[in-house]
Structure 1
């Protein structure tokens, strides 16, 4: 049961989760991170490290299971990230803002 990054990572992209992942399953987009569900070992160490509380196990996704598929799709397109980078200067402003996917998600790759 892999984990998935959800809506609250968009425009926050804190990256604290990256440094604790034992299998380097995070991938960087321009506005968010995703987890490769094919690489995630479901250890859960990333969950408490995320200041935005944007990481959930796929069993908690319910109706939002599209997040698992979004994570799978973009993990195959974006560069792998193995070290924490600098979060956006306005990350705290965006944390907790609902429904960011439609207007603030970018399919463009970020820095790996």
Structure 2
């Protein structure tokens, strides 16, 4: 089992989760983070740290559509091990619905 980053992360990318991950399994896209499913140890420390409530166990129905996407982009995006600064407008996007169409496939510029 692994944890999965979902739609709520898009355009928020707070990265509080990154700072607590003991195995550095987060990968960064241009406007979202994902968790590498083969690296996640299912410890769950990231879930309560996410201000956008975007992280769920892969067994949660809310994660179903996002599990494959996390695996796909984790193989393409750079690994991040330290919390960075969220976008200036992160708070405005935090509770927005319907953000999936805004997901960028581009990797983060690190």
Instruction: Give the CA deviation at 1:96.
Output: 1.1
Find the aligned partners of 1:53 and 1:111 in 2 and give their Cα distance.
24
Show the counterpart of 1:32: 32
**In structure 1, how many angstroms separate the alpha carbons of the residues matched to 2:88 and 2:107?**
19
* Structure 2 Cα separation of the partners of residues 14 and 92 of structure 1: 9
Q: Which runs of 4+ in 1 moved over 2 A?
A: none
RMSD: 1.0
Q: Which residue of 2 aligns with 1:84?
A: 83
Secondary structure (helix, strand or coil) at the match of 1:78 reads: coil
Instruction: Name the structure 2 match of 1:107.
Output: 105
The normalised TM-score by structure 2 is 0.96
Aligned length: 110
Q: Quick one: distance in 2 between partners of 1:111 and 1:8? A: 21
Matching residue of 2:13: 13
Q: Secondary structure at the match of 2:79?
A: coil
Residue ranges of structure 1 left out of the alignment (5+ in a row): none
Query: How high is the TM-score relative to the length of structure 1?
Result: 0.94
